[in-house]
Structure 1
Amino acid sequence: MWQSEAMWIDFSSPHLHPFLVMIGVDGVNAITGTPFTGEPDFDADDYIEVPTQQALATHRRPYGDLRQFVPPSVHDGPDAASPGHLLQFTVTPMRAEAWARRRHHAADRPDCVLCDISRAERMRAVPRATPSRVLGPLESPDTWQPSLSRSGAVLVVNSATWRELTGGSPRHHPLTSTDYDAHRLRWHPTYSETPMLSSPI
C-alpha cells in the first residue's frame, strides 16, 4: 500500500452461507484489542458474522484506541521496527443444519427480523467500525462448526518494503494531493512517499 492509502476489509460469502470471522492485526484482536487467539470468545463478542456484518473499517489496539488499516510508515526512516502489519483471519462456517433452518425460515417467513437485518446490512455502502456493534451477536455459540475452521494471514507492507521484496513498485499509482482535493479530503504531508527523517542524512 502507498502512504496515501487506507483500506477497509469487505467479506463476501458464496450463496450467503454464514461464517464467523475473527480478525487479528499484529497479534491483537481487531474487535477487542486483546491478544488474538483464533478462538472466539462468545462473551466478549470478538468476531464478526458474515455476510450480516460484512465489513470492518478500523481495528482496536491494546491501548483501546482505533486505527485505520494503513501501511507501515516510510517516514520512520531505515530503522523502522516492522516491515509490515500482519493481518490474521480465522473463519468458521455455520453448521449445515443451522444454515438449512435459516434458509427455510427465510423462504417461509419474509417478515423475519433477522433476515431483514441481513438484507439491510448487505446493502450498506459504509464499512463498520469496531466500536458500538449495534447488532451484536446474531447467532448462538452452538450455531458454528469449529472443527471446520480455517486460518490464514496477509502481510500489509508499504511501497519501500514492496520494492525490497519484489524489485518493483506496486502496480497501481499512489494517490496525490490533487486526488484528495477532488474528493474534498484533507491532504497531510505524511501521505507523501518521500521519507521525512528526523535527523540529517
Structure 2
Amino acid sequence: MITLHKNQLRFDFPQVHPEAVCTLELIRTLRIPDDGREYPLPPGFARFPLRHLDDHAARLPEHWRRRGGVLMPMHQAEAMWINFDAPGGYPFALKIATGKVCAVSGDEWVNHLNLDPQDYVVVPEQPWLDGYCVEQGLIRQFVAMPLGKGYTAEEQLTGLAEHGGLQVIAYPMKREHYESMARKVHALYSEMPLAEDGDMAIGLAPGGRMRQEIYEDPYGLDAWDQRHASRCFVSIANSGQWMALTGELPPTRPP
C-alpha cells in the first residue's frame, strides 16, 4: 500500500509484518557545479510537494494516467536528493531509477533485485541518496532537465526520451528472516550485563560530483520478499504543468 503524508511517500506492507513500513522524501537542495571537481554535500531545504495523480486524472496526459503514481514539481536545473527511513527499523531493499535507468548501477530497469552489481540500496542502513552512482564512493547529483534535449540519464544511456520521472520499488525483508534476526539480537542482548553508567545510545540528469558511499547489502538477496514488492512512478512536472494540473503555484522560484 502506497500513501502520501505531509509530502512523504510511504510504503506499508501489513501483509508481510506490522513493522514493515518505509518512507521516502524528495528534498530540494543547492545545485553544485558540474565542473569535474568533487564537492561536499550541499544543504537540504524543504521536501518537494507530492500529489496523487489520480486526484487530477481529468487533466492528465494519457501516458501519465496509465502509469499512475504521484506528481512533483521541479524547475529546470533544480537539484534534489532522496531521504529514506524505516520508522520501525524494519529493513527494506529499494530500487531507484530515473527514466528507467538504475541510479545505483547505471543499468536499465528490471523488476527484480541484482547483487552483481548491486542495483538497490538497503534501508535503514542507507539513509539517503544524493544522485547517480558513477563509481565506488562517487555520485553525480540529481538535476532536473527537460526530456528530449539529450541531457537526461535516460537519453544518454538509452538514446531514448521515453519515460522521464523517477521510479521506486520497495521490497520488504521476508518476515521469517526478520523475526529470526530479531531473536538473535534479543538473545545477544539478554546475555550482556547491564552497564552501571555510560552511553546507552545504541541521501534526472547527472550533475556535479560529490562523495557518497552506497552500502553493500549485509543480508543477501534471499532476505528480500520479492513477491510483495510495491512500485511507484513519480512524474516530474515543470512549473506550468504543475499549475495547470493542480491549481497550485510551485513552491520555489527557478534557480
State TM-score, norm by structure 2: 0.50
Shift of 1:168: 4.2
Higher RCO, 1 or 2 (CA under 8 Å, sep at least 6)?
1
Give unpaired runs (5+ residues) of structure 1: 111-126, 176-190, 192-201
Letter in 2 for 1:137: D
Distance 1:173 1:141 in 2: 40
Distance 2:117 2:162 in 1: 31
Tell me if the contact between 1:59 and 1:130 (Cα under 8 Å) persists in the aligned partners.
Answer: no
Change in Cα spacing, 1:48 to 1:130, as seen in structure 2 (3 Å) is farther
Corresponding residue for 2:103?
Answer: 30
Shift of 1:3: 4.3
Tell me if the contact between 2:77 and 2:144 (Cα under 8 Å) persists in the aligned partners.
Answer: no
RMSD: 3.2
Corresponding residue for 1:101?
Answer: 180
Tell me if the contact between 2:102 and 2:108 (Cα under 8 Å) persists in the aligned partners.
Answer: yes
Q: Which has the higher helix share?
A: 1
Distance 2:228 2:75 in 1: 36
Deviations 1:65-116 (A, max 9, x none): 9542232259x7xxxx979841111111101111112222333335xxxxxx
Tell me if the contact between 1:95 and 1:144 (Cα under 8 Å) persists in the aligned partners.
Answer: yes
Letter in 2 for 1:102: M
Tell me if the contact between 1:25 and 1:59 (Cα under 8 Å) persists in the aligned partners.
Answer: no
Tell me if the contact between 2:79 and 2:141 (Cα under 8 Å) persists in the aligned partners.
Answer: yes
| 1:51-90 alignment runs, 5 A limit | 51-60=124-133, 66-73=139-146, 85-90=164-169
Q: Which has the higher strand share?
A: 2
Change in Cα spacing, 1:95 to 1:83, as seen in structure 2 (3 Å) is closer
Corresponding residue for 2:223?
Answer: 143
Corresponding residue for 2:243?
Answer: 163
Corresponding residue for 1:152?
Answer: 232
**Which of 75, 80, 86 is the matching residue for 1:7?**
80
Give unpaired runs (5+ residues) of structure 2: 1-73, 150-159, 190-202, 204-209
Change in Cα spacing, 1:108 to 1:9, as seen in structure 2 (3 Å) is same
